Chain A
């Protein structure tokens, strides 16, 4: 038993942070929401240079062949910085869905950072992100994988999430039930990690805000009502992270409890991130309720993402089914 990240994983996270901290991601995100993708695509390429897009692509295709834990580490950072775009679909889902198909050239392009992939997987994920600019759109219909074309656009509560219906086209492959399920588990786990990172960011920014904002002649962060609310967020996030890492290890080893643990991680991260968002909004007050203030980027993203890869209710159901079916703790 060794339950802490490796030096390599920490360095990878630091490298992503280093790039994103100096990239004015909020401006890029607002441009992306407005349909101007240039800066976002330039950032995509720079993140690709760090190895992000190659993470789950096999080494023989120019990828890194990383683990689900490596992906969880990366997606927590993407959530922390609210980076826009179909990252889960391209980095995690495309390699998992296209493994063993004829689409190996496309996987190499994913690894290079040259191909953006989007995916719809109804019923839990009925619409696909950024289908207008993705080089490859896929629909996973149960276990059948189709290419697809963009249809009707939708307006998400998160302006940076540009959603589209997909119309299924040619069949790419019939996947095994195990492959399809593992691919969706990978996406769900990346979603959980993204939520965790977003929750961490809102906590950090709120702590900073209440330490500076003065009322009644002192920082509002001196008041216990605010302290206690923020302490509860700290606790919720601290205990969500081990579930993400634990589920990543189970998923990497393809154990029978992997799906259960991925769902548990999603539930905990969705709850913790949402608690963080509600606390952040309340403690910022009116400024937090404005679209202009950057907090809105995370507030709205979290509201959208808690259901993006299966609702928490769906995932609680999966956990309970797994528990009732087994003799208890493994």
Chain B
């Protein structure tokens, strides 16, 4: 075991740090506004121009063939530089791994490039009004259209992150109404401006339209935009869910940078309350724990292991860490804490962590049943 990086990794870090120091725009307006979305797309273009937008991807799609270790190093440098959260995140972290694994060569050619340079921003379309934690109960349908060689999507998706300002969406639809819950689902890709689609933005707690409802009224999708096999959508989607709550969505760099800012805030403001002092320390310790734990995960994955249910352990930890870190910052700010500003904005974002990507209650079921081996019983079926 060693905390030393190789020369090559150190050189990679130095190159990333130098480029980011020169180019990072710092905080941008919220990506969930018209103005902010444009600014974030421009930043994605700039990242891509330096070949930093998708470092772990193959070179032919704009990446650097970076190792997992190098990817984590890049993320550390990215957030230490103060660079903004990524509008391309949904596509890069959730969809791209599926396209690499299940996509046709044509899909890879068509979608990966524009995703990498921010030309096409993707929104996810999982939940429905009656299908949240119990995602497999979803009812939006895909009906066969043999004449045109494709499918007609109908129904309603909701809580679709980034949908108000995105170009394309991905999600699950029921293509075989006769099949049992998890079977008969198919994974579709579709443009959000397709005839028959209506996107209704929903303001989030921070006032910005971070998600939306999407209504589908016989939206035609050609066979070429079915991802994976027809009827195999659940398995395909679960591999994205594993990504989302696993290593990819929340790299340690983000929390370590926030913990360092919290320590800076403590230096500036201090507090008479001993519990505030302890909370600052605990936030920093947890960020450090997450960082080291991630290096262990990188090792395990490098040795051929997979995230599996450990993604749920990860998600439970980072979502609590993120929330408590920001609660602590607000406590240090005293009466100023209610004022809108970076800490309050990030706090509002952290409030969603225990909910999205599978609620923490579902994650605890997964940890208890799949890792600890506790009996299933008749609850927690949503873990399927």
Query: Footprint of B on A, CB under 8 Å?
Result: 1-6, 9, 69, 203, 207, 210-211, 218-219, 221-224, 226-228, 230-232, 234-235, 238-240, 242-243, 245-246, 249-250, 261, 264, 267-268, 313, 316, 319-320, 323-324, 328-329
Judge whether B2 and A324 touch: CB under 8 Å.
no
B43 within 8 A of A: no
| A-facing residues in B243-301 (Cβ within 8 Å) | 256, 259-260, 263-264, 266-267, 277-278, 280-282, 284-286, 288-290, 292-293, 295-296, 298-300
In this complex, the member of B2, B4, B379 whose beta carbon has the largest number of chain A beta carbons within 10 angstroms is B2
The listed residue (A3, A210, A240, A316) touching B374 by CB distance below 8 A is A210
B5 within 8 A of A: yes
Given A3-B292, A223-B379, A320-B266; 16 other pairs, CB 8 A cutoff = A1-B5, A2-B1, A211-B373, A222-B378, A228-B368, A231-B316, A231-B363, A234-B371, A239-B289, A249-B2, A268-B285, A319-B285, A320-B280, A323-B284, A324-B267, A329-B256
In this complex, the member of B256, B284, B361 whose beta carbon has the largest number of chain A beta carbons within 10 angstroms is B284
In this complex, the member of B264, B368, B378 whose beta carbon has the largest number of chain A beta carbons within 10 angstroms is B368
Query: Footprint of A on B, CB under 8 Å?
Result: 1-5, 9, 69, 256, 259-260, 263-264, 266-267, 277-278, 280-282, 284-286, 288-290, 292-293, 295-296, 298-300, 303, 313, 316-317, 361, 363-365, 367-369, 371-380
Residues of B within 8 A of A9 (CB): 1
Judge whether B379 and A316 touch: CB under 8 Å.
no
Some 20 contacts from A to B, beta carbons below 8 A apart, are A1-B298, A3-B299, A4-B303, A9-B1, A207-B373, A210-B374, A224-B361, A224-B364, A224-B380, A226-B374, A228-B364, A228-B365, A231-B367, A231-B368, A234-B368, A249-B3, A264-B288, A268-B289, A323-B284, A324-B263
Judge whether B2 and A320 touch: CB under 8 Å.
no
Judge whether B368 and A230 touch: CB under 8 Å.
yes
CA of A250 to CA of B292, assembled, Å: 13
CA of A78 to CA of B288, assembled, Å: 26
Judge whether A227 and B369 touch: CB under 8 Å.
yes
Which chain A residue shows the least CB distance to B80? Answer: A329
Judge whether A227 and B368 touch: CB under 8 Å.
yes
Judge whether B277 and A238 touch: CB under 8 Å.
no
CA of A328 to CA of B259, assembled, Å: 9
Judge whether B367 and A234 touch: CB under 8 Å.
yes
In this complex, the member of A226, A240, A250, A324 whose beta carbon has the largest number of chain B beta carbons within 10 angstroms is A324
Residues of B within 8 A of A235 (CB): 313, 316-317, 367
Judge whether B266 and A324 touch: CB under 8 Å.
yes
Which chain B residue shows the least CB distance to A321? Answer: B281
CA of A248 to CA of B127, assembled, Å: 45
Residues of A within 8 A of B377 (CB): 218-219, 222-223
Residues of B within 8 A of A238 (CB): 293, 313, 317
Instruction: Report B70 CB to chain A, min CB distance, Å.
Output: 10
Residues of A within 8 A of B277 (CB): 316, 320
Residues of A within 8 A of B290 (CB): 239
If A227-B374, A245-B1 touch, whether A3 touches B295 (CB-CB below 8 Å) is yes
CA of A234 to CA of B300, assembled, Å: 18
